[in-house]
Chains A and B, each alone.
Chain A
Amino acid sequence: MNTFLGIAAAFAVGLAATSTALAASHEKVKACFIYVGPVGDFGWSYQHDQGRLDVEEVLGDAVETAYLESVPEGADAERAIERFARSSCNIIFTTSFGYMDATNKVAGRFPDVKFEHATGYKRDHPNISTYNSKFYQGRYIQGQIAAKMSESGIAGYIASFPIPEVVMGINAFILGAQSVNPDFQVKIVWANTWFDPGKESDAAKTLIDQGADIITQHTDSTGPMQVAAERGVKAFGQASDMIKFGPETQLTSIIDDWGPYYIERVKAVMEGTWEQVDIWAGMAEGHVVMAPYTNMPEDVAAMAEETEQKIISGEFESFTGPINKQDGTQWLAEGEKATEEQLLGMNFYIEGVDGTLPE
């Protein structure tokens, strides 16, 4: 039910057909990428660039790629996207939520170019698709592992900004943890940054000082992993496999693997089969990958793998009722599964989370 893959907007088909001429001429297809951070962040933008490199590796000479890094959201984004559209790019991936309106505006002006916007929801024109990954699936597994591994019964959660994506992650984590230990607690610190190794490290130290012995993060740097290693507690990586930064520390990591999607979409342009989609894919499609389960007893790893398999097969969905909101009111009834709209607009904690959600 989660898979939107292949659901096409019928009116896009005609347009896609016109651009087959291009593919037929055996010209190289040019795929272009816009990143919000430096490719050197070893987090969000780095992973998108890994996806770009996958495209180059798999499609080889048939494809040409280009990227712009550290493009600020706002007026600059529209210019950067338009520049790509004008420099013979056939498909443009804009990889930050803040590029949403700029992408849509430019897409309207260049109907022959395909646009792919990550994490957004606006598709004003037939030549723009949106895509995102279900990272929360991994967070549920992390919660389970945390509850098994923690001695203090407290995990520390370094959060970035209170947007649905992040809140959803916190809720999935607590659901997973409390499925193992109903008394498990999560302490949350909002770092108000996606990327500041120093600040994230300080947040990790703070959480450990307050009794957390498992650290997880929804920020991008490897700082917290290193702090956890130093203080001798366990931690989860974020966005990429951070095992190098905590060989004895990392339990697992949620890896954003954009490669499969990028390859598929660029291929579609080559073959003239590109159609508008809205994809929110997860583990089943290989867009969310768990790093090897390390530094934990075999039974815990086995449990994690079992949950992973169940999520992949579709047998299990983290947000399945009964789930109450933090104030005790019912959110999902017994057996009810959250819809994607409910998840994508999530702005409340579920029961079991301590603290108040910043407004």
Chain B
Amino acid sequence: MGILEAVLLTIITAATPLLLAAIGELVTERSGVLNLGVEGMMIIGAIAGFAFAQMTGNPYLGTLAGAILGALFSLFFGFLVLTLVTNQYATGLALTILGLGLSGLWGEAYIGVPGIKLQPVAIPLLSEIPFFGPLFFKQDILFYISIGLVCAVSYFLFRTNAGLKLRAVGDNHHSAHALGVNVIAVRYMAVMFGGACAGLAGAHLSLVYTPQWVENMSAGRGWIALALVVFASWRPYRVLSGAYLFGAVGIAQLHAQALGIGIPSQFLSALPYIATVVVLVLISRNRRLTLINTPATLGKGFVPDR
């Protein structure tokens, strides 16, 4: 394995959980709901994935459990902001706190237990291609899912009727409602989709990235995923590039250190964050473009008049 190949593999692994969580949150936000609880759903997915993999001995069932529990957990949030029309910012934060607390309680039994790793699945023929094969066709299933989801979400949002409905709900819930779209139902589904994706991202952490359970193992990645959605101005393929860019900057600073570059490591560690701000400023300067893509009702509650 060449060094470039190895580095790219590392970047892919670091970027996959970010991508999974961000693509789910993108759909949620496109429907006009801002869920700041990604971190909480992610950590629930991580413990659920780990626990079910341990119980069944099968990491695939663990992955599935991560997605399902992530979705169920997001219903706490959904019920509050959609049915009871509570403030989305605050409710999302509550979800994060609750998720960190509950996962810690649930995980006490799994401390110091080696995890079961989700093994890579080689795709016949394609994985034989030099260089690209091992990178893109000899990966764990969550990598394939993450790429598949980006394509599927992009197709869904911009090429299907249901996607159009979802965007309509996000852009103007009143007119969508008047047109007979069940705004609340659409949003419930979008929230649950976001929860399932965040759960998958968590399962990636505890079954692929570092196959073990440790408290707070999401370590702020949920927040980065949220940042990526804005950074991508709500476009699926930009989320893809954003996640990989963020992963790459993070890995590059480690390589710079190992090569012995004499810059304080704190400055190198801060690079990904500074880079995000700079790129965001560059992207956002085009006001028109941002306005087109930003879901206009993002963060605003909706009560159907009867």
- Name A's B-contacting residues (CB within 8 A): 38-42, 46, 156, 187-190, 192, 195-199, 201-203, 205-210, 221-223, 226, 230, 240, 244-245, 354-356, 358-359
- Name B's A-contacting residues (CB within 8 A): 3, 6-7, 9-10, 13-14, 104, 107-108, 111-114, 117, 205, 209-212, 214-217, 219, 221, 250-251, 254-255, 257-260, 262, 264-266, 269
| B-side contacts of A46, CB under 8 Å | 111-112
Do A192 and B262 form a contact, CB below 8 Å, given A40-B214, A201-B210? no
Partner of A38, one of B9, B104, B210: B104
23 A–B contacts from the bound complex (CB under 8 Å): A39-B111, A42-B111, A187-B258, A190-B257, A196-B219, A197-B217, A199-B219, A201-B210, A202-B10, A202-B251, A203-B254, A205-B6, A205-B9, A205-B10, A206-B251, A210-B258, A221-B212, A222-B114, A222-B212, A223-B210, A244-B114, A354-B260, A358-B264
User: Are the C-beta atoms of B219 and A210 separated by less than 8 Å?
Assistant: no
User: Are the C-beta atoms of B6 and A198 separated by less than 8 Å?
Assistant: no
Do A42 and B210 form a contact, CB below 8 Å, given A196-B219, A206-B254? no
Partner of B260, one of A38, A222, A230, A356: A356
User: Are the C-beta atoms of A210 and B3 separated by less than 8 Å?
Assistant: yes
User: Are the C-beta atoms of B221 and A198 separated by less than 8 Å?
Assistant: yes
User: Are the C-beta atoms of B112 and A208 separated by less than 8 Å?
Assistant: no
**CB-nearest residue of chain A to B111:** A40
| B-side contacts of A199, CB under 8 Å | 219
**CB-nearest residue of chain B to A161:** B265
User: Are the C-beta atoms of A197 and B14 separated by less than 8 Å?
Assistant: no
| A-side contacts of B117, CB under 8 Å | 230
User: Are the C-beta atoms of B266 and A192 separated by less than 8 Å?
Assistant: yes
**Given pairs A189-B257, A202-B251, A210-B259, 15 additional interface contacts (CB within 8 A):** A40-B108, A41-B214, A188-B258, A189-B254, A192-B265, A205-B9, A206-B254, A206-B258, A209-B255, A210-B3, A221-B210, A223-B210, A226-B114, A226-B210, A356-B260
> What are the 7 tightest A-B residue pairs by CB atom distance, in nearest-first order?
A355-B260, A190-B265, A197-B210, A40-B111, A206-B254, A356-B262, A209-B6
User: Are the C-beta atoms of B214 and A197 separated by less than 8 Å?
Assistant: yes
User: Are the C-beta atoms of A197 and B212 separated by less than 8 Å?
Assistant: yes
| B-side contacts of A226, CB under 8 Å | 114, 210-212
What is the distance, in angstroms, from A39's C-beta to the closest C-beta of chain B?
Answer: 8
Q: Which of B215, B257, B266 has the most CB of A within 10 A?
A: B257
Do A189 and B210 form a contact, CB below 8 Å, given A198-B205, A210-B3? no
Q: Tell me the bound Cα distance from A337 to B217 in angstroms.
A: 42
